[in-house]
Amino acid sequence: MVYDLEKENKEIQYRYKDLISNTYRTLDEEQNKLIRKAFDIALDAHKDQRRKTGEPYIYHPIEVAKIVANEIGLGATSIACALLHDVIEDSEYTYEDIKKIFGQKIADIVNGLTKISVMNHQNISVQSENYRKLLLTLSEDFRVILIKIADRLHNMRTLESMRDDKQKKIASETVYIYAPLAHRLGLYNIKSELEDLSLKYNNPDVYYDIANKLELAKDNREKYVEEFKKEVSEQLKEEHLNFTIKGRAKAINSIYRKMLKQNVPFEEVFDNYAIRIIYKSDAKNEKFIAWKIYSIVTDLYHSNPQRMRDWITNPRSTGYESLHLTVLGPDKKWIEVQIRSERMDEIAEKGVAAHYKYKEGFKQNSDDRNFEQWVSQIREVIEQQQNLSTTELLDNIKLNLYSKEVFVFTPKGEIKILPVGSTALDFAFSVHTDLGMKCLGAKINGKLVPISYVLQNGDQIDILSSQNQKPKQDWLDIVITYKEKSIIEKMTKAVKKQALGRGLSALLKDPENDIKSVEDKNADKVVGNIIELDIESIEINPFQPRTNFNEETLQELDKSIKELSVIKPI
């Protein structure tokens, strides 16, 4: 095939200029030089390479860099790394070359991207070790994962050039891994697009059916939004507020999930679009103005209190802040309204990147700590679960990534954020592992409850503990987070070993050969053998002059076996 190289070179330069002129952050001269140097190296590295579409390969890193620069909103270092993200893997440039040209920081990020780009997989099963590497990069430099998400987004946008089986494979992996990661990093727009594109390839009939119905309803939707804007704007202007009002259809995948959950057709999903009111404010008046707008909207339209969400008083652990309410708007149709400041809107759009931009100037609550704590927990889980199967690893991390949250209070009034469905025992472990191990029960709002009590928003929790308490096997059914499950499993195994050791010591009656514990792999087998024996008729080996078991021995053995909760007591 003959290519028009002159035309392609012009297109490459045009795309590069578009990249540097549309960045979320303002770049100085030095930063522009860094990006240009990265572009030149990438151009050289990929000069003889083409994508499956036939386009020059350099188009891909430029488009990934655009997503990083504009849609995610990262700075010059990340933009440079996005341009270079395939250089080590696909060219003769090495890690040492990149380190020599750009320094260790950029070389490490590019190397991190290279490591996780070799994730070979079958269906949605990903090589365990590579998936661990992918997630561990979060606590090393979260820019690696953000650039990887941008890389995946561009690949999804251009997936039509791939074979059908490849499309489905990549789409499945995307919705299973990358969309939850984007969600947890606060990149809600990207998360929605990844989910929609995955649905497009995994279930095209459903995707196009909903997309066509949204398009048919577009004129009515725009008319409805304009009517809402007119009525609300008049009231907001009277209060001298500086604001904008936007209307948008909800994501196709989001609508599809509602159809499945409510078991209704598209026409009966009553809030398939939303209105966003974004206002200007300084830090001091931010909350006050949000509630003022809330009051104006609810004076105009009847609201559904059960669908009210206050993410301003208690931001999500991603840093997301907004008031969500559902009102019976013009023509008596339900519609979701989101109220947020310009700062909150940037955080909602750009996630972690914008969150760190606003470290200065606004009073921070626990948002930074919540994100960093989550990163730390993910790392702990992965490092502890070296022998976990791929499927278990994906399922458990995905659960932690996607879980919604419940807000509860310590006795001193400090807020703790836990996944919805968490129990009093989960709370105890979240305060401290030792407190979890010794947990007997809890007082919720002054009332005694068992450790299995499921936490509700606003609960104040005081944990009751005892030095004599030990973790039980059935606790694994009470806690919901994988970190706690792994700790309990480890401790119950230790208790099991000790108990079995005491039982066998009593059985052998040999003070010089006291058995403290047994190996895990032998424990169940030995216990099974003990139980199968008719203990009262056991005779001591005639070659070893001993007597039958006395009552004390049997009681000791009975006690030790009862401690093994997987076995019926004797």
Helix axes 29-45, 5-20, angle to 10 degrees: 150
Helix (H) or strand (E) holding 191: helix 188-202
Alpha-carbon distance of 519 to 432, in angstroms, equals: 29
β-pairing, 273-279 vs 334-341, is: parallel
In the three-class reduction of DSSP (H, G, I as helix; E, B as strand; rest coil), residue 50 is classed as strand
In the three-class reduction of DSSP (H, G, I as helix; E, B as strand; rest coil), residue 308 is classed as coil
The b-or-e profile of 167-198 (16+ CB within 10 A means b, else e) is: bbbbbbbbbbbbbbbbbbbbbbebbbbbbbbb
Verify whether residue 89 is a known catalytic residue.
yes
Verify whether residue 141 is a known catalytic residue.
no
Alpha-carbon distance of 167 to 169, in angstroms, equals: 5
Alpha-carbon distance of 20 to 7, in angstroms, equals: 21
Alpha-carbon distance of 546 to 569, in angstroms, equals: 26
CA dihedral 299, 303, 306, 309 (to 10 degrees): -70
C-alpha distance from residue 131 to each of 3, 125, 389, 565 (Å) = 38, 10, 11, 34
Instruction: Give the active site residue among 11, 55, 89, 556.
Output: 89
Helix (H) or strand (E) holding 278: strand 273-279
Distance, CA of 294 to chain centre: 30
Q: Using the structure block, give the residue that is written with the tokens 């990163």.
A: 375
In the three-class reduction of DSSP (H, G, I as helix; E, B as strand; rest coil), residue 565 is classed as coil
Cβ–Cβ < 8 Å for 406, 419: yes
Instruction: Give the active site residue among 11, 90, 209, 342.
Output: 90
Catalytic residues: 89-90
